[in-house]
Structure 1
Amino acid sequence: MDYRKRIQELRDILNENGYRYYVLDAPTMSDYEYDMLNRELEELEAAHPEEITPDSPTQRVGGKPLQGFTPYTHEVPLESLQDVFDDQEVREFTDRMTQTLGPDVEYSVEPKVDGLSVALEYRDGVFVRGATRGDGRVGEDVTENLRTIRSIPMVLPEKLPRLIVRGEVYMARSVFEEINAQRELEGKPLMANPRNAAAGSLRQLDPKIAAQRRLDIQVFNLQLAEGKDFRLHSETLEYLASQHFRMIPHKTLRADEVQKEIDRINDQRMEYPFDIDGAVVKVNSLSDRETLGSTAKFPKWAVAFKYPPEKKPAKVLDIVVQVGRTGVLTPKAVLTPVRLAGTTVTNATLHNQDYITQKDIRIGDTVIVQKAGEIIPEILEVDFKQRPEGTVPYVLPQTCPVCGAPVERDEDGAAVRCTGAECPAQLLRNLTHFAGRDAMDIDGLGPSLVEQLVDSGLVRNAADLYSLRAPDVAQLERMGEKSAENLIAAIARSKDNDLSKLIYGLGIRQVGEKAAKVLAMHFGTLDALMAATAEELTAIDDVGEITARCITEYLSQPQSQDLIARLREAGVNMTSQAELVDQRFAGMTFVLTGTLTNWDRKAAQAMIEERGGKVSGSVSKKTTYVVAGEAAGSKLKKAQELNIPVLTEEAFAQMLASD
């Protein structure tokens, strides 16, 4: 092997993935894979020290801080730990400690939370600043976002002049699953895992968004305490617990008990509310830590044991298909029970048809299973040597297994989706969308209430909303007579909405709010739209072949026609109420930017559309005018670069007022 070539190859891989992991929070490989490649590079550089260069990933502690937050220099560096991967390396560590410190060394063994490391600073008992670890010396000031974490005390019982503690911010698994379920209902991309979700949430520029993510923290180290002396690490943890910090679980043990505790933490990892990727072993005596000191990269008095992902064989007993709330068909392998990462696994996601085809997974196969990110069971590969005769390739069904409607593959992805308008599996998502502000705008009908209505059997499709009775709704959790009456009134008001809101509320694929307005104004009635051919639809500006096909397929299905018929019977308006004032803006495209003082954005957009114009969200060479309000930003700059005419609010008002 050409070791120089391999060293450079490893550096390139690790630098790229280090950037994605630490800076972008978008890793492309597991922590374990990264650790193994880093270990290989360390060993090659140790064997060939002449090849070590300052830019090697082994010569730095961490990554660069993201732009967008003020850099913060840590007074006490937030050191990383040396990783160990088996019981032999743990024994080597404890043996070194014994040789240096004597036979009576005590260790603190703690779970290693898989989150984002931060330092919290207090002055006179008041929280004043918090920062991410960054590269260990320079991080990012995220004080305002940390203030939203309820388990971080703002005021401490004891008012030390200065106190700095270190902790790990995380998103609890239960919160992660709840937020992803909500995002699925709203049709938003799902978050990849709790660690990335926590890191992304803590780096939100808007603290309100960070607050909605319900982050938590486990404090695990005292960095600095003016006016207070401690002898042991365990004493510092007890003190910090008395100051109302949420503390990491820990045990103080002798060397011969350390590995047993590491194994126990691994066996019980799913009992913690947070994800862990290892266990930390620290010398308990603070004076011994000072004696040992640190290398250029790690403290000598601690190591982090990294748990490798377990891989075990299992047999595929069946492949079943689930229909998600957005209509996507997700295949799942039913497996013979296998114990992984402390839990018994009986199922593994197969993602989509491409995944199944690529790995050639069949019913009856023996497969190798592991937990991706220590959470989700996944199939790594098929053991083709054990494949029984007579197996056949698996193909997803052509109709929805829940409602029988045809399925179709997304144009821009691997997802196969049910097209049924009344599919029970999609009911929560469809109703939430139907009631949304940009659709039928039913005030008070949010996702949690939709779920109660569905679970109680009161609503089975959107048309059922219009037959609800206040006494029935009042019986639901957190509802009363007044709230129920308000909801019924809001549902009744929605009957008078413009046709465009109904078209958007139906949830036809590829038809957004803007397209719905164009269709409503062009056809005038829902009946006319239902009678339109694909050719008639594509003749409309902004309606392409894909959108036209989605519209005709949706409106030709019996489920869709039944839903529309029931909405009509309920008295829902199916006629466009928008009338063109004139055609002065026909063929023109406007972009609105900045804060408008005379109108809100929707009102300005409506006035443009009522006069035959279009409103776009981005500036291009096709833009006719940019209307710039106060604090206009990048769109104004781009308009100036492209020589697009820019209108003040006064100039825009004059265009509206002119004959």
Structure 2
Amino acid sequence: MTETERILQLRRELHEHNHRYYVLNQPTISDQDFDFLLRELQDLEAKHPELYDENSPTQRVGNDINQQFTQVEHRYPMLSLANTYSREEVQAWYEQVSKGLEGQEFEVCCEMKYDGLSISLTYENGRLVRAVTRGDGVRGDDVTQNVRTIRCIPLQLSEELSAEKMPGGYPENFEIRGEILLPWESFRRLNAEREEAGERLFANPRNAASGTLKSQNSRVVAERGLDAYLYYLLGEELPSDGHYENLMQCARWGFKMSEGMRKCRTLQEVMDCIAYWDEERKNLPVATDGVVLKVNSLRQQQHLGYTAKSPRWAIAYKFKAERVSTPLLEVTYQVGRTGAITPVANMAPVWLAGTTVKRATLNNEDFIRSFDLHIGDYVYVEKGGEIIPKIVGVETSRRSADAEPVKFATHCPECGAELVRYEGEAAHYCPNDAGCPPQIKGRIEHFIARKAMNIMTLGPETVDDYYNRGLIHNIADLYELTPQQITSGNDNRLVSAKKVVKSISDSKEVPFERVVFALGIRFVGETTARLLARHFKDMDTLASASLEELLEVDGVGEVIAESVIRYFHDETNIEILNRLREYGLQMRLSEEQTAGQKETFAGMSVVISGVFTHHSRDEYKAIIERHGGKNVGSISGKTSFVLAGENMGPSKLQKAERLGVKIVSEDEFLAMISDDNSVAEMTENTTKENEVTQSSTANFAAAPQELNLFD
């Protein structure tokens, strides 16, 4: 046997052993023997770099290369499913399905609803080629390198299991979706390691899984022990009409499927399944929060169709949150980026839904008063969505006679400044923007974020390190950093330090509207920042705007306007802005943006939905705003039109049709930009019955496989 043949043989064997160990839990060799085979493969691959394969078992360990995630549009939008906590609603749904199928017999596939991070895996010719997070449902982050380190996810399916070689085999191209999770055991181990190292603990497995999958270092991902369950097959050539049967085929192909999946033929069987898992889920190795019910037949799913909001053929029953009682020991206060003060209940540790709980947010002063909280009270705690602890009640009968009521803080716990509460706001704020450490670091973290200045070589831990070392005290200090300051003489860090400085320098090209957002003006989000930038066109005009002028901007009320005025009347902020101007940041709209502004869509509200060919969704949003229009997220009677690409969501399509909102295709929209008459005509017809061409309907019609029923 040649070395090339041995490499191919080892890869096949190791893939099979990975599957038996991580998916079937039926290993056939010892860990030591597996390691010997893996080492042999590593040595042979090192001798033959020309045979490199990104899907080789040796790539499971990850690497230290810093990644920059790219955004990828989903072929099929990853939508969500409405939830219910009521078994009566489950029964009503079952009866509606029976009625909709006109008495036909039907089966229901019941499967666990996992509480992790949704993932979409694309396979071509049996090879994993792409792994994308849910993102906003239309596009997500390409995390393929990190997903390759998750050992239960097959990198290469056996050629013998392809559709060409066996009935029901995997098709040439398909997509399979599921959930990335961190098992309870891995979660507890990871937090124990972080606690010993003095690092911040993860709040729950879902956050840990999400943070891990988004790690810039795939070696870190490989070490943390992520798991995955797959539950949804998409493609043009599925093996069967049955959803359950398709998933059973996926299991045969090598995928790890949802535990406890069951096909039910009666309502009683469905209820029994829910009751069983309501108790048994506590013994599962991963977090779950419900049971998903789906009509099994894809043909019957098509027949049942959709309501305006969700498919008629599916529903998710969510388990009621477990509740425990524990004494309230004290209330502490945290300071956020904007200075918002969050009270936190510190309680006696108690076991709840798989984790030890000892802290819960109290939201604000009004929340505390609504429960009349006293120190020492026995409080009832639940986990919202089985994850976030929250106080839901007080057992006043156990209150001590000398218990002291909780009094909200009057001064900032970090800097001592007297707190303020703005009219119409539930939260208290620390007004010391320039001198309160959590606010300073929080504003720097906001400034470097992807949607702001996009300085992605920095992160919260790095900002904290630079701040503690005295390298930065505000956002302007970033532009004075040198590689030598960052490394403190450690030449081993010089390459990464140069990348940091270059990334900071590159941010000077970020457009003006994102600079406004990056400043972190209280109450000014991404959309408001864009509206302000496009209205005033440069920083000086914005900074000198009066209350009346600010209120002229669509979407800006008195609270936002007053916050903008306060920001630009602060001498420290003005000094920082002057420094940013000197460093070369964009302080006005570009000539291209200014020259390109038109009133084509003036006064019009536009909804964007679907996947586009010529431009991205963000680019279309910018075009609409540049032509005087307003982007909105949901369809209503006030919507002027929907800009629709391929795979437009079925609920949006039906709602648009019901309200008579015009559907505009991508090519029609691009033609409209240079044709004001077509826009005027469309404005007159927005309340008339919507006419969708047959070709558009074909593009937008939702096939059963176009929904991801898990969030």
Q: Normalising by structure 2, what TM-score?
A: 0.47
Greater Rg, structure 1 or structure 2?
1
Higher RCO, Cα 8 Å, sep 6+: 2
